[in-house]
Chains A and B, each alone.
Chain A
Amino acid sequence: MAALKHSLSVSVRKKVFPAVGMRSEILVLKDVAFKVDPGSFVVITGPSGCGKSTLLNIIAGLDHDFEGTIDFGEGGQQRFAYVFQTPRLLPWRTVYENIALALPPDDPRRANIPELIERVGLTEAVSAYPEMISLGMQRRVALARAFVLEPEFLLMDEPFVSLDDPTAQGLRELLVELWSRRPTTVLFVTHDRAEAVMLATRILRLSGGDASIIEDIPVSLSIADRSSRDKVLAEQRRVFGNT
């Protein structure tokens, strides 16, 4: 198991969406700078439309049109996985094939696929096609596809939205379990405050409008505390106040 040695440094001085037709240029991100330490679970939270997903896309290298720098450290860039807001599975490949997609045919990590599939509860669906399983299961597949790479960094963009509460909660617990088994540096975007507190070791709050970081708050819940509704709620009050 590779030790986590890289930290991620993000510095976005300015990101604008160019003017389109009658709409003028929009300033999306302004002076967003932070460093993610190895092994931490950083949650970026803020109101809808404040540029969280844009920030993640910039970090993932999907959006190059910005001013600033993203630094994964030497070789770190090669070791990240991304879980999108929608599962983004290949509908014409089975659950198994989707999970194995990014691994070369002779990769030793393929040996871990059966155990991972069992852990995320997809054993009976391995040969099903994504359109034949529920959204919650599709999201498990997306999670497995990311974890099978044994990434050093994991970027997650509201991966549990549009699920009913128990399903989303189950997936969060699964994520905490996977994360505690295999050290991974996570950058997780959400607008859900309870989710933020339950998962994070550190929360970055982005302001609305031309988003910049307004607060940087450590979260000190133990793994066990994170599955307790009361403790999560208490921590949520501490972090976000009663607003």
Chain B
Amino acid sequence: MLQAVKAPARRFKLGQVGWSLGSLVALVAVWELAALIAASRYMPGPLAVVEVMIREAQAGELWSNIAATLIRVAFSFVVAMFIGSAIGLALGRNPGVDKFFDTWLIFFLNLPALVIIVLCYIWFGLTEVAAITAVAVNKIPNVAVTMREGARSLSKDLEEMAQVYRLGWWKTLRHVTVPQLAPYFAASARSGLALVWKIVLVVEAFGRSDGVGHQLNIAFQLFDVPMILAYALAFIIVVQIIEMVILQPLMARANKWRR
């Protein structure tokens, strides 16, 4: 009884942090070792990369490029989640529509990201809208597939309960439907973020004059490996912070009712 009302156990234990830290140190050690063995300017060690990172940060370049990329990530992420969810729900709730559009979905799922990017730039010009559209179109089919699965698994039992208790559409949506879809939404948001920021870099390398992708493209032309790794590392850190500060607490909150 008392146990029943106790708050759910904390999800993050010290042991987990220890493991993560240990594994990170091991990764850096392997990197350093590889750099020592290679002894080449194309394989800089961790320290050299961090130095470049600090220099770029002090010059302000790092921040402005990361900001530009993050804004593109945010826009295309929101657009993709919104449109992808709408399509996924429509397909999951209407078997007829689903049957018809299933082939379309498979077509877009298998369309290479590069093809979408190139076509968007050709059709809409080298613009911001083209860039964000290209990223969103790449992501939408994945969101749609996941959300379709969510819509298919909606509980008939709870729907009937909502009906006999006359909850009305808003309450049903808020208390019955959305919580059932939340895990699917969270799954597509997390995999989505990872996919979106990778594609944003490609889009920037191809047709934008700022952002991390653009910077990587320049570094590639100069064969400047420390610069490439410095930007990659900085961006990985930023994405990890977003994951830890925003996504994980949201997930924990959404899951606190689970046993």
Known: A124-B1, A125-B4, A132-B4. A60 touches B175 (CB 8 A): no
A16 at the interface (CB under 8 A from B): no
From DSSP, what is the main secondary structure of chain A's interface residues?
Answer: loop
Determine the chain B residues whose CB is within 8 A of the CB of A124 once the complex forms.
Answer: 1-2, 4-5
CB of B80 to closest CB in A, whole Å: 26
Determine whether the beta carbon of A101 is less than 8 Å from that of B167.
yes
Which of B138-146, B157-165, B214-222, B233-241 contacts the other chain?
B157-165
Determine the chain A residues whose CB is within 8 A of the CB of B259 once the complex forms.
Answer: 131-132
CB of B113 to closest CB in A, whole Å: 35
Determine the chain A residues whose CB is within 8 A of the CB of B164 once the complex forms.
Answer: 60-62, 80-82
A26 at the interface (CB under 8 A from B): no
A93 at the interface (CB under 8 A from B): yes
Determine whether the beta carbon of B176 is less than 8 Å from that of A90.
yes
Count chain B CB atoms within 10 A of each CB in A61, A84, A102 and give the residue with the most: A102
CB of A65 to closest CB in B, whole Å: 15
Contact partner, B179, options A80, A90, A132, Cβ 8 Å: A90
Q: What CA separation (Å) do A124 and B157 show in the bound complex?
A: 27
Q: What CA separation (Å) do A61 and B160 show in the bound complex?
A: 10
Determine the chain B residues whose CB is within 8 A of the CB of A84 once the complex forms.
Answer: 157, 160-161
CB within 8 Å of A: which B144-158 residues: 157-158
CB within 8 Å of B: which A106-160 residues: 124-133, 137, 145, 149
Size of chain A's interface in residues, with CB distance under 8 A?
Answer: 29
CB of B159 to closest CB in A, whole Å: 10
Determine the chain A residues whose CB is within 8 A of the CB of B171 once the complex forms.
Answer: 101
Q: How large is the interface on B (under 10, 10 to 19, 20 to 34, 35 or more residues)?
A: 20 to 34
A86 at the interface (CB under 8 A from B): yes
Known: A84-B161, A86-B157, A90-B158. A125 touches B175 (CB 8 A): no
Determine the chain B residues whose CB is within 8 A of the CB of A133 once the complex forms.
Answer: 4
Q: What CA separation (Å) do A115 and B157 show in the bound complex?
A: 28
Which residue in chain B gives the minimum CB-CB distance to A60?
B164
Known: A92-B257, A132-B4. A62 touches B175 (CB 8 A): no
CB within 8 Å of A: which B163-218 residues: 163-167, 171, 175-176, 179, 182
Determine the chain A residues whose CB is within 8 A of the CB of B166 once the complex forms.
Answer: 78, 102
CB of A138 to closest CB in B, whole Å: 11
B258 at the interface (CB under 8 A from A): yes
Q: What CA separation (Å) do A78 and B258 show in the bound complex?
A: 34
Determine the chain B residues whose CB is within 8 A of the CB of A88 once the complex forms.
Answer: 157-158, 160-161
Contact partner, A91, options B2, B161, B167, B257, Cβ 8 Å: B257
Determine the chain B residues whose CB is within 8 A of the CB of A91 once the complex forms.
Answer: 257-258
Chain A to chain B: the 9 pairs with minimum beta-carbon distance, closest first: A129-B257, A102-B165, A82-B164, A92-B179, A88-B161, A131-B259, A92-B257, A128-B4, A128-B5
**B residues engaging A (CB < 8 A)?**
1-5, 157-158, 160-161, 163-167, 171, 175-176, 179, 182, 254, 256-259
Beyond A124-B1, A131-B258, 18 additional pairs, beta carbon < 8 A: A61-B164, A62-B163, A82-B161, A84-B157, A90-B176, A90-B179, A91-B257, A92-B179, A101-B165, A124-B5, A125-B4, A125-B5, A128-B5, A129-B257, A132-B3, A133-B4, A137-B4, A145-B165
